[in-house]
Amino acid sequence: MKLYTFDPAPNPQRLKMFIDYKGIEIDTAQVNFQEGEQRTDAYKAVVPTGTVPALVLDSGRVLSSVFAITQYLEALHPDRPLLGTSNEERALILDWNHRIFTDVFKAIADLFRNTNPAFAGRALPGTLDTEQIPALAERGRSQLLHALSSMNDELSSRNYVAGDSFSMADIDLLASLQFAGWAGKVKPDESLTALIDWRQRAQAVLD
């Protein structure tokens, strides 16, 4: 199998943290985003969505979401599990993956892609050309600030996002906060002490 990615981008960062933590070795090709390689016919012939990351399986089928790729790799490499070891853990981690993606990650993406000049005319990921909508950026910022406050409340009662153990939910939130910092110039307010403490604790697991 072969992984197509662009390590600096937010979704690839989520996957890279997962792969590095588990110590998985994969044949990897870095896609040149600066030159728009992801939008070329050659790349879309392999990955029709024109997105990264994408994992081409030995069968030739393609997984183009971090959710699917991590599920597949966890099944192949169960050591140092990040997706839970019981039905309850797996469900809670999946629930938090979804909440972080919809409430935090997507809010940052709306803020970033609707303000950055580099995304003029292509405000959505993939191959659809779409104009930027400034109002979505403002909504994204409001949604993000609200979500960070909610996460602080949640983390005031436990060590990690989904429970007592470090998981993919923590990786998703770490990657989202990194994304918020450089893309939206947003960082947790100093009053969000539970979130700030969690970030230091979770980052230490990866270091």
**pLDDT of 32:** 94
**pLDDT of 106:** 93
Does 117 or 64 have the greater pLDDT score?
Answer: 64
Does 184 or 77 have the greater pLDDT score?
Answer: 77
For the entire predicted model, the pTM comes to 0.92
Output the CA–CA distances (angstroms, integers) from residue 141 to 83, 84, 87, 171, in the order listed: 29, 31, 35, 21
Query: How much is the mean pLDDT over the chain?
Result: 95
pLDDT band at 99; cut points 50, 70, 90: very high
Range of the domain at 108: 87-206
Q: Is the pLDDT of residue 184 over 80?
A: no
Count of H-run helices and E-run strands, the chain: 8, 4
**pLDDT of 34:** 84
Q: Is residue 81 part of a domain?
A: no
Least confident of 6-15, 99-108, 125-134: 125-134
26: domain CATH number? 3.40.30.10
Cα(186)–Cα(177) distance, integer angstroms: 8
The answer to whether residues 155 and 101 belong to one domain is yes
Number of domains in the chain: 2
Give percent of the chain with pLDDT exceeding 90: 87
The answer to whether residues 44 and 12 belong to one domain is yes
| Mean pLDDT, residues 107-116 taken together | 92
Cα(189)–Cα(28) distance, integer angstroms: 37
Q: Is the pLDDT of residue 110 over 80?
A: yes
The answer to whether residues 106 and 10 belong to one domain is no
Of 43, 76, 109, which one is at a domain's C-terminal end? 76
Residue 116, Cβ density class (10 Å: 0-12 exposed, 13-18 middle, ≥19 buried): middle
Q: Where are the beta strands (DSSP E) in 45-113?
A: 54-56, 62-63
The answer to whether residues 135 and 194 belong to one domain is yes
Residue 25 identity (one-letter amino acid): E
The answer to whether residues 48 and 121 belong to one domain is no
Cα(14)–Cα(171) distance, integer angstroms: 6
Does 125 or 106 have the greater pLDDT score?
Answer: 106
The answer to whether residues 66 and 123 belong to one domain is no
Residue 138, Cβ density class (10 Å: 0-12 exposed, 13-18 middle, ≥19 buried): middle
The answer to whether residues 91 and 71 belong to one domain is no
